[in-house]
Amino acid sequence: MTRRLGRWMAAATLALLWCVAPALAQTPPATAEKKEEEKPKTYWEEHKLFAYIENSYTFNVTGAGRGGTNELRFYDNYEGYTFNIAEFSIKKDPTEKYWWGYGLVVTAGIDSQKNHSLGIFRDENDTFPFRNTEKFDLQEAFAMVRLPIGSGLTVKGGKFVTLMGYEYIESPNNLNFSRGYLFEFSIPLTHTGGLMSYTFSDQLTVTAGVVLGWDNSRDNNDALSYTGQFLTTPIKDLTATLNWIVGPEQNDNDANQRVVLDLVTTYTGIKNTTLGLNVDYGFEKDEAFLASLGTRQDNDARWWGVAGYAAYDFTDWFRLAFRQEFFQDQNGARTGFGSRVVYWTSTLTAQFKIWKGLVGRLEYRHDAASEKVYKAKTSRPDQTQGVTAQSKSLDTISFSLYYLFF
């Protein structure tokens, strides 16, 4: 009985092996399942190249101010054709293999006149819209090192763009062609100084540094300013940064502090959709312009604003973007009005990818204010004094064309 049971078990085992043998033969070895490791980048592959040129034409529907000016606009400050910018950028971040990095950004065009920092193609007597300054700029020039501390401490020194704001100097990186009031009036463009950044986890990176101030490469007083950023990714596809800067920014004055808090969030978790939010609050003690008026007891300046962004890619070549913005210049210090003004802007931008790196944008923008600040005119053409604003709104249509080389 036992012998017969043994024969049956042996036969069943052979039959089972016969059935599964083909499957075992087709199963790859465990080592084959391992993915081939990524080939490390060469030194040149770690570089990032970026270059573009941009032209635009802006038509003022409500009528431009004196000299064809679109009041309180930045790069679209003039009615008509503008050769905006030509930019070349080369950057390299420090890595474990190559622990050093650097960046160089040079530009030319009308936009470059507005981007100068004090001491580089701009003097203290030059004020917006900088008609007499050079039409080229050294926008960024910095060096970086990665120190072997923990996960790696990155140190950066030189001239670089600010940590603050949702919008960029570079037009292709923005959802809209024109820049909003938060970009223009609430925050600086560039700094000269040093930054240190440390990544604590995949969800948190902290940056802090010392700079010469707002758009200063030659300090206009004897005090420094301090800036920093908390960058978080609390959930997938959601990025939030809290940025700040504090320090005295007035000429030859080390006492009156200017403080700005800047919150930026971006969400890309919905297919073909980009959502953004920018909130700013600013304060300056005994602001110089308000003090020069001599009509106020309280010369402290305050401003705050919020901007919402939404864009949807209908196809690979067509995008529609909308920006809604609110900006309150509590004392009129930032926009030069001298008293409280509230601003609203609505901007709709249609973007078309025409061919390779060639991109066209058609934009309609409506600005409204609580006071007459637009369409500034003189009563007679030969007058230079007594300029008065005639409108509480400004409407423009612009067409821009840029080409990305890299």
User: Sorting pLDDT into bands at 50, 70 and 90, what band is 64?
Assistant: confident
Q: In whole angstroms, give the CA distance from residue 109 to residue 327.
A: 28
Domain boundaries, position 227 = 43-404
Tell me, what amino acid is at 209? Answer: G
Mean of the pLDDT values across residues 291-319?
94
Q: Residue 54: is its pLDDT beyond 90?
A: yes
The DSSP output letter for 173 is G
Q: Please give the residue that has the higher pLDDT: either 39 or 241.
A: 241
The widest CA-to-CA distance across the chain, in whole angstroms, is 126
**Ranges 15-29, 143-157, 375-389, most confident:** 143-157
Among 253, 274, 255, smallest CA distance to 265 is for 274
Query: What is the spatial distance between Cα 23 and Cα 25, in angstroms, rounded to a whole number?
Result: 5
CATH number of residue 74's parent domain: 2.40.160.10
- Average pLDDT for 157-180: 98
Domain count of the fold of the chain: 1
Average pLDDT, integer, range 265-277: 98
In a domain, 355, yes or no: yes
Region 59-72 average pLDDT: 89
pLDDT at residue 8, as a whole number: 37
121-149 mean pLDDT: 89
| 20 domain residue, yes or no | no
Residue-wise pLDDT tens digits, 93-111: 999 899 999 999 999 999 9
Q: What is the DSSP string of 116-152?
A: PPBTSS--TT--TT-TTS-SEEEEEEEEEEEE-STT-
pLDDT of residue 262: 98
Whether residue 388 is predicted with pLDDT greater than 60 in this model: the reply is yes
What is the chain's mean pLDDT, rounded? 89
Residue 117 maps to a domain: yes
Mean pLDDT of 58-63: 93
Residues 239-262 have a mean pLDDT of: 97
Mean pLDDT of all residues in 380-403? 83
Mean per-residue pLDDT, 58-77: 90
Nearest by Cα to 289 from 281, 301, 277, 274? 301
State the CB neighbour count (10 A cutoff) for residue 320. Answer: 14
Q: What is the mean pLDDT of residues 350-367?
A: 98
Average pLDDT score over residue span 17-31: 39
Q: Does a structural domain hold residue 14?
A: no
Q: What is the pLDDT of residue 384?
A: 52
Residue 37 is predicted with a pLDDT of 60
SS3 track for 199-266? EEECCEEEEEEEECCCCECCCCCCCCEEEEEEEEEEECCEEEEEEEEEEECCCCCCCCEEEEEEEEEE
In a domain? residue 19 = no
Whether residue 31 lies inside any domain: the answer is: no
Residue 321: closest CA among 357, 375, 273, 284: 273
On whether the CB atoms of residues 268 and 274 are closer than 8 A, the answer is yes
Instruction: Evaluate whether residue 17 is within a structural domain.
Output: no
Q: What percent of the chain has pLDDT above 70?
A: 88
